[in-house]
Structure 1
Protein backbone atom coordinates (compact mmCIF):
# COMPACT_ATOMS: atom_id res chain seq x y z
CA UNK A 1 0.00 0.00 0.00
CA UNK A 2 1.21 3.47 -0.71
CA UNK A 3 2.62 5.29 2.27
CA UNK A 4 0.77 8.48 1.28
CA UNK A 5 -2.65 6.98 1.96
CA UNK A 6 -1.64 5.83 5.44
CA UNK A 7 -0.14 9.25 6.16
CA UNK A 8 -3.45 10.80 5.15
CA UNK A 9 -5.30 8.45 7.51
CA UNK A 10 -2.87 9.20 10.35
CA UNK A 11 -3.46 12.92 9.85
CA UNK A 12 -7.21 12.27 9.85
CA UNK A 13 -6.87 10.43 13.18
CA UNK A 14 -5.01 13.38 14.66
CA UNK A 15 -7.67 15.77 13.35
CA UNK A 16 -10.36 13.59 14.92
CA UNK A 17 -8.61 13.64 18.29
CA UNK A 18 -7.96 17.40 18.50
CA UNK A 19 -11.62 18.54 18.79
CA UNK A 20 -12.34 15.95 21.48
CA UNK A 21 -9.27 17.09 23.41
CA UNK A 22 -10.40 20.71 23.09
CA UNK A 23 -13.87 19.72 24.27
CA UNK A 24 -12.42 17.97 27.33
CA UNK A 25 -10.06 20.83 28.19
CA UNK A 26 -12.12 23.93 27.41
CA UNK A 27 -15.84 23.25 26.88
CA UNK A 28 -16.66 20.65 29.53
CA UNK A 29 -15.15 22.71 32.39
CA UNK A 30 -17.33 25.64 31.28
CA UNK A 31 -20.37 23.39 31.47
CA UNK A 32 -19.31 22.24 34.95
CA UNK A 33 -18.95 25.87 36.02
CA UNK A 34 -22.41 26.67 34.62
CA UNK A 35 -23.90 23.62 36.31
CA UNK A 36 -22.81 24.90 39.69
CA UNK A 37 -24.76 28.10 39.12
CA UNK A 38 -28.03 26.34 38.22
CA UNK A 39 -30.35 24.30 40.39
CA UNK A 40 -28.79 21.71 42.63
CA UNK A 41 -30.79 18.80 41.20
CA UNK A 42 -29.76 19.63 37.63
CA UNK A 43 -26.15 20.07 38.71
CA UNK A 44 -26.00 16.42 39.82
CA UNK A 45 -27.45 15.30 36.50
CA UNK A 46 -24.98 17.41 34.53
CA UNK A 47 -22.10 16.15 36.68
CA UNK A 48 -23.16 12.61 35.82
CA UNK A 49 -23.23 13.37 32.09
CA UNK A 50 -19.88 15.11 32.25
CA UNK A 51 -18.39 12.18 34.15
CA UNK A 52 -19.58 9.84 31.42
CA UNK A 53 -18.06 12.12 28.79
CA UNK A 54 -14.70 12.31 30.54
CA UNK A 55 -14.60 8.56 31.21
CA UNK A 56 -15.53 7.79 27.59
CA UNK A 57 -12.61 9.93 26.39
CA UNK A 58 -10.21 7.28 27.76
CA UNK A 59 -11.35 4.41 25.49
CA UNK A 60 -11.77 6.91 22.63
CA UNK A 61 -8.12 7.93 22.75
CA UNK A 62 -7.00 4.35 23.30
CA UNK A 63 -8.92 3.34 20.15
CA UNK A 64 -7.32 6.23 18.26
CA UNK A 65 -3.90 5.04 19.40
CA UNK A 66 -4.68 1.49 18.31
CA UNK A 67 -5.85 2.79 14.92
CA UNK A 68 -2.61 4.71 14.61
CA UNK A 69 -0.56 1.60 15.42
CA UNK A 70 -2.64 -0.44 12.96
CA UNK A 71 -1.74 2.04 10.24
CA UNK A 72 1.91 1.70 11.28
CA UNK A 73 1.62 -2.08 10.89
CA UNK A 74 0.24 -1.53 7.39
CA UNK A 75 3.24 0.70 6.60
CA UNK A 76 5.60 -2.05 7.78
CA UNK A 77 3.76 -4.71 5.68
CA UNK A 78 2.54 -6.43 8.85
CA UNK A 79 -1.13 -5.93 8.08
CA UNK A 80 -1.82 -9.67 7.91
CA UNK A 81 -0.52 -10.58 11.33
CA UNK A 82 -1.84 -11.43 14.77
CA UNK A 83 -0.85 -8.02 16.14
CA UNK A 84 -3.22 -6.40 13.65
CA UNK A 85 -6.00 -8.70 14.81
CA UNK A 86 -5.28 -7.74 18.43
CA UNK A 87 -5.38 -4.04 17.54
CA UNK A 88 -8.78 -4.49 15.86
CA UNK A 89 -10.03 -6.39 18.90
CA UNK A 90 -8.97 -3.53 21.17
CA UNK A 91 -10.68 -1.00 18.89
CA UNK A 92 -13.86 -3.12 18.97
CA UNK A 93 -13.78 -3.31 22.76
CA UNK A 94 -13.18 0.43 23.14
CA UNK A 95 -16.12 1.28 20.87
CA UNK A 96 -18.35 -1.14 22.78
CA UNK A 97 -17.23 0.43 26.08
CA UNK A 98 -18.15 3.91 24.86
CA UNK A 99 -21.53 2.64 23.75
CA UNK A 100 -22.17 0.96 27.11
CA UNK A 101 -21.19 4.11 28.99
CA UNK A 102 -23.64 6.22 27.03
CA UNK A 103 -26.42 3.63 27.28
CA UNK A 104 -25.95 3.75 31.05
CA UNK A 105 -26.10 7.54 30.92
CA UNK A 106 -29.21 7.80 28.73
CA UNK A 107 -31.52 8.34 31.72
CA UNK A 108 -29.46 11.43 32.55
CA UNK A 109 -29.78 12.68 28.97
CA UNK A 110 -33.53 12.07 29.24
CA UNK A 111 -33.77 14.13 32.43
CA UNK A 112 -31.90 17.03 30.83
CA UNK A 113 -34.10 16.77 27.74
CA UNK A 114 -37.27 16.84 29.84
CA UNK A 115 -36.22 19.72 32.08
CA UNK A 116 -34.89 21.92 29.29
CA UNK A 117 -37.59 20.76 26.84
CA UNK A 118 -34.81 19.90 24.38
CA UNK A 119 -35.29 16.51 22.75
CA UNK A 120 -32.10 17.14 20.77
CA UNK A 121 -30.07 16.21 23.84
CA UNK A 122 -31.53 12.71 23.74
CA UNK A 123 -30.84 12.48 20.01
CA UNK A 124 -27.19 13.44 20.58
CA UNK A 125 -26.84 10.63 23.13
CA UNK A 126 -28.48 8.18 20.72
CA UNK A 127 -26.17 9.22 17.87
CA UNK A 128 -23.10 8.61 20.02
CA UNK A 129 -24.42 5.17 21.01
CA UNK A 130 -25.27 4.26 17.42
CA UNK A 131 -21.96 5.51 16.00
CA UNK A 132 -19.87 3.64 18.55
CA UNK A 133 -21.86 0.45 18.00
CA UNK A 134 -21.37 0.72 14.24
CA UNK A 135 -17.62 1.13 14.79
CA UNK A 136 -17.60 -1.85 17.16
CA UNK A 137 -19.44 -4.10 14.69
CA UNK A 138 -17.28 -2.92 11.79
CA UNK A 139 -14.10 -3.64 13.75
CA UNK A 140 -15.46 -7.08 14.68
CA UNK A 141 -16.16 -7.88 11.01
CA UNK A 142 -12.69 -6.67 9.99
CA UNK A 143 -11.14 -8.68 12.81
CA UNK A 144 -12.90 -11.84 11.65
CA UNK A 145 -11.97 -11.28 8.00
CA UNK A 146 -8.36 -10.63 8.95
CA UNK A 147 -8.22 -13.79 11.06
CA UNK A 148 -9.56 -15.83 8.15
CA UNK A 149 -7.10 -14.20 5.73
CA UNK A 150 -4.21 -15.01 8.08
CA UNK A 151 -5.44 -18.59 8.34
CA UNK A 152 -5.67 -18.94 4.57
CA UNK A 153 -2.25 -17.34 4.15
CA UNK A 154 -0.67 -19.75 6.66
CA UNK A 155 -2.25 -22.73 4.86
CA UNK A 156 -0.91 -21.49 1.53
CA UNK A 157 2.55 -20.99 3.01
CA UNK A 158 2.57 -24.61 4.19
CA UNK A 159 1.48 -25.91 0.80
CA UNK A 160 4.39 -26.77 -1.47
Structure 2
Protein backbone atom coordinates (compact mmCIF):
# COMPACT_ATOMS: atom_id res chain seq x y z
CA UNK A 1 0.00 0.00 0.00
CA UNK A 2 2.83 2.37 0.81
CA UNK A 3 4.35 1.75 -2.62
CA UNK A 4 1.05 2.48 -4.39
CA UNK A 5 0.52 5.69 -2.39
CA UNK A 6 4.09 6.82 -3.06
CA UNK A 7 3.67 6.09 -6.76
CA UNK A 8 0.48 8.17 -6.86
CA UNK A 9 2.21 11.02 -5.00
CA UNK A 10 5.07 10.95 -7.49
CA UNK A 11 2.52 11.09 -10.30
CA UNK A 12 1.01 14.20 -8.67
CA UNK A 13 4.48 15.74 -8.40
CA UNK A 14 5.11 15.05 -12.09
CA UNK A 15 1.84 16.78 -13.02
CA UNK A 16 2.60 19.66 -10.60
CA UNK A 17 -0.55 18.90 -8.59
CA UNK A 18 1.14 17.90 -5.32
CA UNK A 19 -0.27 20.93 -3.49
CA UNK A 20 -3.89 19.83 -3.88
CA UNK A 21 -6.46 18.02 -1.78
CA UNK A 22 -5.78 14.78 -3.66
CA UNK A 23 -2.30 14.52 -2.19
CA UNK A 24 -3.63 14.57 1.35
CA UNK A 25 -5.58 11.37 0.79
CA UNK A 26 -2.50 9.51 -0.44
CA UNK A 27 -0.34 10.73 2.45
CA UNK A 28 -3.09 9.69 4.88
CA UNK A 29 -3.04 6.26 3.24
CA UNK A 30 0.67 5.99 3.96
CA UNK A 31 0.15 7.08 7.57
CA UNK A 32 -2.61 4.53 8.08
CA UNK A 33 -0.54 1.72 6.56
CA UNK A 34 2.49 2.51 8.70
CA UNK A 35 0.21 2.78 11.74
CA UNK A 36 -1.29 -0.63 10.99
CA UNK A 37 2.22 -2.07 10.72
CA UNK A 38 3.10 -0.53 14.07
CA UNK A 39 0.00 -2.05 15.66
CA UNK A 40 0.85 -5.43 14.19
CA UNK A 41 4.36 -5.18 15.60
CA UNK A 42 2.99 -4.15 19.00
CA UNK A 43 0.61 -7.11 18.93
CA UNK A 44 3.52 -9.51 18.33
CA UNK A 45 5.65 -8.00 21.12
CA UNK A 46 4.42 -10.53 23.72
CA UNK A 47 5.47 -13.31 21.36
CA UNK A 48 8.96 -11.79 21.05
CA UNK A 49 9.15 -11.61 24.83
CA UNK A 50 7.97 -15.19 25.27
CA UNK A 51 10.44 -16.42 22.64
CA UNK A 52 13.33 -14.55 24.25
CA UNK A 53 12.51 -15.97 27.70
CA UNK A 54 11.86 -19.56 26.63
CA UNK A 55 14.85 -20.00 24.30
CA UNK A 56 17.25 -17.79 26.26
CA UNK A 57 17.72 -15.68 23.12
CA UNK A 58 17.99 -12.02 24.11
CA UNK A 59 18.75 -11.08 20.51
CA UNK A 60 15.16 -11.76 19.54
CA UNK A 61 13.96 -9.19 22.05
CA UNK A 62 16.53 -6.71 20.78
CA UNK A 63 15.38 -7.23 17.19
CA UNK A 64 11.77 -6.62 18.23
CA UNK A 65 12.77 -3.47 20.11
CA UNK A 66 14.77 -2.10 17.17
CA UNK A 67 11.90 -2.84 14.79
CA UNK A 68 9.55 -1.03 17.16
CA UNK A 69 11.84 2.01 17.22
CA UNK A 70 12.08 2.06 13.43
CA UNK A 71 8.30 1.74 13.04
CA UNK A 72 7.70 4.50 15.60
CA UNK A 73 10.18 6.81 13.88
CA UNK A 74 8.60 6.15 10.48
CA UNK A 75 5.11 6.83 11.81
CA UNK A 76 6.11 10.07 13.53
CA UNK A 77 8.02 11.21 10.44
CA UNK A 78 4.99 10.61 8.23
CA UNK A 79 2.75 12.53 10.64
CA UNK A 80 5.10 15.51 10.52
CA UNK A 81 5.39 15.37 6.73
CA UNK A 82 1.60 15.17 6.38
CA UNK A 83 1.20 18.34 8.45
CA UNK A 84 3.93 20.09 6.44
CA UNK A 85 2.14 19.18 3.20
CA UNK A 86 -1.15 20.54 4.56
CA UNK A 87 0.49 23.83 5.52
CA UNK A 88 2.30 24.08 2.19
CA UNK A 89 -0.99 23.46 0.39
CA UNK A 90 -2.65 26.26 2.37
CA UNK A 91 0.24 28.61 1.65
CA UNK A 92 0.11 27.72 -2.04
CA UNK A 93 -3.61 28.53 -2.11
CA UNK A 94 -2.92 31.89 -0.41
CA UNK A 95 -0.16 32.62 -2.89
CA UNK A 96 -2.44 31.79 -5.82
CA UNK A 97 -4.99 34.26 -4.48
CA UNK A 98 -2.37 36.99 -4.23
CA UNK A 99 -1.08 36.43 -7.73
TM-score (normalizing by structure 2): 0.88
Name which structure has the greater RCO, CA cutoff 8 Å, separation 6+.
2
For residues 1-26 of structure 1, give each alpha carbon's deviation from its aligned partner in whole angstroms, at most 9, with x where no partner exists.
Answer: xxxxxxxxxxxxxxxxxxxxxxxxxx
TM-score (normalizing by structure 1): 0.57
d(CA) in 1 for partners of 2:91, 2:79: 18
Q: Does 1:128 align with 2:71?
A: no
Helix, strand or coil at the partner of 1:80? coil
Q: How many residues align?
A: 99
- Residue 74 of structure 1 is aligned with which of 13, 28, 32? 13
d(CA) in 2 for partners of 1:121, 1:76: 45
Q: Does 1:119 align with 2:35?
A: no
Helix, strand or coil at the partner of 2:95? helix
Tell me the equivalent position of 1:148: 87
Tell me the equivalent position of 1:159: 98
**Max radius of gyration: which structure?**
1
Give the Å deviation of 1:159: 2.1
For residues 50-104 of structure 1, give each alpha carbon's deviation from its aligned partner in whole angstroms, at most 9, with x where no partner exists.
Answer: xxxxxxxxxxxx1122112212221222221222222111111111111111112
Stretches of 4+ moved more than 2 A in 1?
A: none
Tell me the equivalent position of 1:97: 36
